[in-house]
Structure 1
């Protein structure tokens, strides 16, 4: 299974397992079924409305006018919008996942370690129409060729799709956290992190990266940011690694004085 290494601006390297083409195809099929079901529901509703209107029309002289036609077009657009923007809306509001990706434990991430932005999701969605040429052949060829799990939309947005299933996670040892000579802490507030909290974060980061662990990492990152009053766009794991490295450096400096 291919993997990618994300080297953040805070000197932290994270390794992720790239989602396989098979997993991405299955996720796309699940998303397609969701969209088909959505369309089927509305077809049924319109059929019922049409049948009711037909019965009513036989007993009246009422007919659609221009205003009615415009209104119908607006209603059709509002109904079609969730179908057309399905992937974009899902990834924005479900933290880089669609229903299919969530079912296959996949997620969109940026290659610089920061959280994907709305513009990144938009680029992925926009180029999806190119990727899907020839029944997805363009997307599959691009993913297989670049070795980083990127289709055209990912290449443009600087993103990839990773697999959140159990995989070896980097264990934050003392050596891995040891900063280089002349290291400048990214978050000076890390000095306020209690030693027992740092130990808990060490153990959490040493766990295999599963969906459950990803949720715990997110909760731990939020609590740490709130406790230390830190604002950052770093990915949860990258943020916690950086805080631990800063904490180790600042603790060592304080003990050496």
Structure 2
């Protein structure tokens, strides 16, 4: 099974199983079924409407489906969610809107021209299973469950000797606390629901008397892990 190992900007290494060609095809087929169902339902409901207006009404949601669903469903369409795969940036973070936009624009080349043959060839031939849109956007598709377990990544060495600690207060936490933070990160990545991360951030801010400087809760948790890793390594 193909695997991609991503080291985040906070020096936390996370491994993912890459989505296979078959999984991507099945996800695409599921989305196509949704398109067909949408077409049939809207055609039946508006069977007496002006055809030109109806054509626009039917085709616009289909045209923008991939872009909107990936943007608002954390890198997933309905088909991807069913198959347990999602789009991520190659730096390990959630892809940005501009990356989703690039992937969407290149669907015309990858998928619609040649009935998806180009996409299949590119995904099969590239190391990180990327179609052309992924290569240009700096993204790929992975299974939603991270391979790395908590024990493997709790004490990842900090590569830079000049590493600057952002939250020295984190050393007041215990190893078990850091285990829980890792569990939160992995659970949020698996579910795509950031609520647990936000709750954890609020608790840590209260306990450590610090403030999240990063906005995104996952970045904050990554920094805490990296800071703890660096400080704990110095004490050993």
TM-score for the superposition, normalised by structure 1: 0.74
Alignment of 1:247 onto 2:235: no
Measured in 2, the distance between the counterparts of 1:199 and 1:170 equals 6
Which of the residues 214, 232, 240 maps onto 2:214?
232
Contact residue 15 and residue 170 of structure 1 kept, 8 A: no
Alignment of 1:1-257 (within 5 A): 1-47=1-47, 49=48, 73=52, 76-132=55-111, 133-165=113-145, 167-169=147-149, 171-172=151-152, 175-177=155-157, 180-185=160-165, 187-188=166-167, 191=170, 194-195=173-174, 197-202=177-182, 214-215=190-191, 218-226=194-202, 227-228=204-205, 229-232=211-214, 236=218, 240-250=221-231
Measured in 2, the distance between the counterparts of 1:127 and 1:193 equals 49
Contact residue 172 and residue 202 of structure 1 kept, 8 A: no
Measured in 1, the distance between the counterparts of 2:56 and 2:153 equals 55
Change (3 A) 1:114 1:216: closer
| SS of match in other structure, 1:176 | coil
What's the CA shift string for 1:125-163, capped at 9, x where partnerless?
110010012211100111111120210111111000001
Structure with max Cα Rg: 1
Change (3 A) 1:214 1:82: same
Change (3 A) 1:125 1:243: same
Measured in 1, the distance between the counterparts of 2:107 and 2:168 equals 42
| SS of match in other structure, 1:81 | helix
Measured in 2, the distance between the counterparts of 1:188 and 1:111 equals 26
Measured in 2, the distance between the counterparts of 1:108 and 1:247 equals 29
Contact residue 123 and residue 153 of structure 1 kept, 8 A: yes
- Structure 1: which 5+ runs fail to align? 51-68
TM-score for the superposition, normalised by structure 2: 0.80
